[in-house]
Amino acid sequence: MLKQVAEGVLVHQSELLENNTVVVQGGDGVLLVDAGITGAEMTCLANDLRELGQPVVAGFSTHPDWDHVLWHAELGEAPRYGTARCAAFMRDVLSNADWRAGVTEGLPPEIAEDTPLALYGLITGLPAGTAQLPWDGPEVRIVEHPAHAPGHAALLIEDRRVLIAGDMLSDVFVPMFDDTDNPMEDYLVGLGVLEGVADGVGVLIPGHGSVARGEEVRARIERDRAYVEDLRDARISRDPRVVSPKPGWEWARDIHEGQARSLARGSEREGTPDQGSSSAEGRPCR
């Protein structure tokens, strides 16, 4: 079911991981951001859009995690964009003959049989440095940063005061790090980039979890920054997503515990804090 969160901006949320698929209404149809995770949900979304007389004219994947690069034939053949780095990452994945087996192995078992892979990862990379999404609708600014995944980008719809954050600023998942030399510092840079556009934002749509409004937008940035700094500096996290997770999401605490263990192992090997060893064990979204 589509829910309007701002003028011309609607959200369809998945049941299992609370993925937020975003629909932005334009002149000739809609922009579809992070299309969803199950065939049933994407078919439902396609039917809803048909009833509204709103075909999909463009798609966008905020980053190359499996649950953000799916598509369904019912959604049509619109171009599906991503940043240059996001598209390059997906080309590398799809170049492996056994990519389908690898993706299937990492899917949540509850939805593995209903996750369509026929159009998986077919992303058209925009030229590096592209600032605006090419489509016939409200101006959508591409805000790329180094946090979480290669080529991750938020989308800012300035005249609607909406920020589509991808896998950042969630109220159900703690920050999850990419496998880079300095993952936590990269994450802090990403948060700084998002903070730089936050003044004009009234509605924040994370990749997972609930929509934030008003002062809660900056509160989420500060909460994520505090989590990353605590983990980096080996302090005990008092983040509510760790201490008292949302009912039914207690399993997500394992992500934090895996990251903390990974960081501790790196510190033991080097004798000093090792920011490059904090890949997210048990990460459900890659």
Residue 223 domain-assigned (yes or no): yes
pLDDT at position 263, please?
A: 84
Tell which residue, 120, 108, 132, 18, has the closest CA to residue 71. 120
Residues ≥6 apart with Cβ < 8 Å to 29: 54, 55, 56, 57, 58, 78
Only one residue has tokens 């904090």, namely 278
pLDDT in tens, 58-69: 999 999 999 999
pLDDT in tens, 44-61: 999 999 999 999 999 999
Would the pLDDT of 149 be above 70? yes
Residue 283 domain-assigned (yes or no): no
pLDDT in tens, 167-223: 999 999 999 999 999 999 999 999 999 999 999 899 999 999 999 999 999 999 999
Residue 231 domain-assigned (yes or no): yes
Q: How many domains does the chain fold into?
A: 1
CATH of the domain at 263: 3.60.15.10
Print the domain residue range for 21: 3-277
What is the pTM assigned to this prediction?
A: 0.93
Residue 286 domain-assigned (yes or no): no
Residue 237 domain-assigned (yes or no): yes
